[in-house]
A and B are shown apart, each in its own frame.
Chain A
Amino acid sequence: MTLLIVLVSVLVFVTAASVIAWPVLRGDSVSEPEESAAGQERKRVEDDLQRTLESIKEIEFDHASGHLSDEDFSTLDADERAKAIELLRERDAIVDPSTDPAATDS
């Protein structure tokens, strides 16, 4: 019984070590497409944009339900919209070589 458990333990160890070491042993990460730095940045900007858009909707809802005065609504809404426009510009300016054929060609 003990011998069997030792054999099972060794088998488990070897399997685990192989699974963990496989990406490094292969020396690359082709099993899953790596995201470029630009792609990651784009995702971050899009996440920020998503949050800002949600914030705009929330401000509109707060105003409609009487939580925000007209004056505060104008200020907050303008701030968030300006931020959203900035983020949209930022997103459009990011060129991701992994998805942009023009960038890949060059």
Chain B
Amino acid sequence: MALLGRVLVLLALGCAAFAITSALLSRRPGRRVWQRSAERAVYMTAVMMSGAMAVMIWALLTDDFSFANVADYSNSTLSWSYKVGGLWASEAGSLLLFAWILSMYSAFVTWLNRRRHRELMPIVVAVLMTVAAFFASLLSFATSPFNTLAQRPSQGGGLNPLLQNPYMMAHPPILYLGYVGLAIPFAFAIAALWTRRLGTEWITSIRRWTVISWVLLAVGILLGARWAYGELGWGGYWAWDPVENAALMPWLMATAFLHSIMVQERRGMLRVWNMVLVITAYSLSLFGTFLTRSGIISSIHAFGASTLGPWFLSFILVLTVASLGLLITRIPDLRSRNSLESFVSREAVFLYNNLLLVGLTFAVFWGTVFPVITQVVKGQSITIGTGYYNQVALPIGLVLLILTGIGPMIPWRKASWRQLMRRFNAPLIGTAIAGVLILSLTDVGTSIWASATVIACVFVTICIAGEFWRGTQVRHALGGVSWPASVYELVARNRRRYGGYIVHLGIVVLIVGLTGSQAFATEHDIALRRGQTASVRGYQFTNLGYINTSTPNVQESGVVLAESQGGSRIGTMNPTIGFYPASQQRLTEVALDSNAFRDVYVVLVGVDSSGLARFSVFINPLVIWVWIGGLIMLIGGGVAVWPTPRAQRQVESAAVPEAVRTT
């Protein structure tokens, strides 16, 4: 079977190479038929990659330990889902997943556009298949998931216990879907540059893809954070780890791009800037892949020993330099049709938003690569701590948050002082009242940053609510329908705008969670014998006894803790330590009691021979809102990309030309 897997990857490489050649050939006069052939080659690349994936998953599910990858990252005691997870636990397996996702995306994009964008599609196909060919080459010649062992072991090494977590089953594939998805806007951007079709055509084609990739990246990042929170046992979920940063950077650039394309669509400005953002976002997504696979950084997520670094670095350099070179040659064609008329206008706010996002990305990039640079220059790696990132991210994030509220309220082109006063009166008065109440009734005032952030969140929420209210009023006046129906129609008729506002609301909710859990979290160490009770910030924990459970995969020893507040029992917690025989590793399993106001997070540090159990107890306020914020962002993203029904589009577009003709 391993041989079949290898052959399928090689065939995928052949199909991708053929697709590149025939797509480029189809651009010559009279050779249009080659485009059909190129499209079929793209579909075949996806078929071959799917076949290779099927072989790999089959080997994992059937415990075929003759595959080195299965022997190293799985064993027969794992559940089927964790066996499949062995695919992305390994370097070669995760590259196979990456290549498969890319091939499927490419096939889907090719199929969707088979009768559209005749000029752009050959180049789009060539770019996507170049990336696919790169990954297929790595899988064929550098690191194959289909390597076999001379002697088949009777049992495998098993999956790293840290990865045996439901969130880790979803986090890597979803993150990869986001990373790889950015290849599509990149391919269309290159096609637009190449063919000099630099109007809004390419932007319209990739807007939806960019939102989808952006949402998937956001969800992937949050799933990773949720995994770290539940699995690593240090009470937090984000530590500015290089691999976390690697996912954050393309997300920040994609955020900037999603805002700046609106300026290009509406005002014909920032055309070069948008190209730079697309190219950088994709280069950074490849850079993220490079970081995890090169072995140049140490991270909980990274694949330690790898020889792929030079391959990736070369590919990223070639791709970035070639793309920027092409962009430079097209700069005369990309001149803006308009200029910034006022620094107080929506396009100006989007520009500030972009500058801040790019600045933040650069700061994160610098912090991430600094250890590598110092290693090269000084021969000693100097790691940058979380203090640096927080110092940079907090002020920038706060201003970005405020701009999230201001942007949609300011008109395009320019705003007069009177207009601004009229627009912002209610939000500012509402924010002032809410601010006074929050500062006087809660502990938020003890932290300046937290106070500023929470007040900014209130401001943005009022602005968003105001947008919905004004829109609903207009829709109600126009449509003669009920208020709830007006809200529905408002969103349904302008999904992109109001989906965006829902995303903004999700970000506000997420930031409330971040602020609460970062600024007001506490940690306490307690030690309890059976029957003893300890108090932590108003919560009482009683050691009710010890439990031991065993499965072939893991032997768990834990403590049953009664959790009480004000004398009333509110729950039972079971922090444990698991021993995984296959990998001979120990791992703590966090006990978590979560509600809307706080998380009680208990880690069993150990139990000594006298029966004294030691715990770390964290009280983390508002953490749940980080995950709820992510969910709201997902919903908002879904609303924004949901296609408008064809019938509605036809009715609307038929009605307006008449109106246009009559003017």
Contacts and interface: CB of A to CB of B under 8 A. Distances in A.
A101 interface: no
Given A8-B4, A61-B474, A61-B494, A51 B204 contact: yes
Contacts of B166: none
Given A9-B7, A22-B40, A69 B419 contact: yes
A53 B653 contact: yes
Contact of A13 (B11, B115, B412): B11
B412 A68 contact: yes
B656 A53 contact: yes
B118 interface: yes
A34 B36 CA distance: 10
A25 to B, nearest CB: 9
B44 A16 contact: yes
B18 A20 contact: yes
Contacts of B18: 20
B653 A84 contact: no
A85 B661 contact: yes
A29 B32 contact: yes
B305 interface: no
A23 B40 contact: yes
A20 B656 contact: no
B595 interface: no
Given A57-B652, A76-B412, A44 B201 contact: yes
Interface in A60-96: 61-62, 64-69, 72, 75-76, 81, 84-85, 88
Interface residues of A, number: 49
Nearest to A88: B657
A4 to B, nearest CB: 9
A106 interface: no
Contact of B11 (A6, A16, A51): A16
Contact of B48 (A16, A29, A40): A16
Contacts of B416: 69
A22 B3 CA distance: 28
Interface in A3-27: 5-6, 8-9, 12-13, 16, 19-24, 27
A53 B265 CA distance: 13
A62 B412 CA distance: 10
B412 A23 contact: no
Contacts of A6: 3
A43 B43 CA distance: 25
Nearest to B413: A72
A34 B37 CA distance: 14
Contacts of B199: 48
Contacts of B36: 23-24, 29, 31-32
Contacts of A75: 413
B188 interface: no
A50 B654 CA distance: 10
B482 interface: no
Nearest to A72: B413
A36 B18 CA distance: 25
A69 to B, nearest CB: 6
B116 A43 contact: yes
A69 B418 CA distance: 11
Contacts of B118: 35, 40
Contact of A23 (B33, B114, B266, B652): B33
Nearest to B19: A20
B660 A53 contact: yes
A35 B172 CA distance: 41
A28 interface: yes
> Residue among A55, A58, A67, A76 with the most chain B CB within 10 A?
A67
Interface string B382-411: 000000000000000000000000000111
A5 B656 contact: no
B3 A2 contact: yes
Sort A-B residue pairs by CB-CB distance and give the 8 closest, nearest first.
A23-B36, A9-B7, A65-B470, A53-B656, A84-B660, A64-B474, A20-B40, A16-B44
Given A22-B40, A65-B471, 18 more contacts: A2-B3, A8-B4, A9-B4, A12-B8, A19-B40, A20-B18, A20-B41, A29-B33, A51-B200, A53-B656, A56-B656, A61-B494, A62-B412, A65-B467, A67-B410, A69-B416, A72-B414, A84-B657
Interface of A: 2, 5-6, 8-9, 12-13, 16, 19-24, 27-29, 31-32, 34-35, 40, 43-44, 47-51, 53, 55-58, 61-62, 64-69, 72, 75-76, 81, 84-85, 88
23 contacts: A8-B4, A12-B7, A16-B47, A19-B40, A24-B34, A29-B33, A29-B36, A49-B653, A49-B657, A53-B652, A56-B660, A58-B494, A61-B494, A64-B474, A65-B467, A65-B474, A66-B470, A68-B412, A69-B411, A69-B416, A72-B412, A76-B412, A85-B660
